[in-house]
Amino acid sequence: MTERLDQPRDVTMRLRPHYDPEAFGRLSEQIARFLGTARFLVYMTVFVGVWVVWNVLAPFKFDPYPYIFLTLMLSLQASYAAPLILLAQNRQSDRDRVQYEQDRLAADRTQAEIEYLTREIAALRIAIGEMATRDYIRSELQRVQEELSGGGQ
């Protein structure tokens, strides 16, 4: 039977394996984090050192000089490490982008609140400026008292 192009594919026909991208991403970050440590460098140095010493001093040399099998294994390790490191960097970049957007929104809200409070303070200052102060009322009462006491004589 031929596959119809106007119909969706049957789910059972898929040959690709299913994997959880988040779990794979977390694993890649853990591996990338380990590859960037001094411990990994020490382990690799010890591994290569043992490999070379074994193939120089042991009676059974499974990878004689120029250590082609060792080179192949290190190339294989690097070919897996590079994409895992890039995947981890991409995930970190995505997290940074989300954090930047949240920070920007928070800064916008803060700026709007500051502008609102500034307007409120300005309105209060204007209102207070139009209010009669204690000294002003006292001076007006003294003036009225002087007028009343001076006019009655």
Neighbours of 25 (CB within 10 A): 16
pLDDT value of position 56: 93
- Boundaries of every domain in the chain: 19-144
Cα(120)–Cα(18) distance, rounded to whole angstroms? Answer: 58
Rounded average pLDDT per 10-residue block, the chain, 153 residues = 72 70 88 91 96 92 92 94 91 94 97 96 86 85 91 54
pTM of structure = 0.57
pLDDT value of position 1: 55
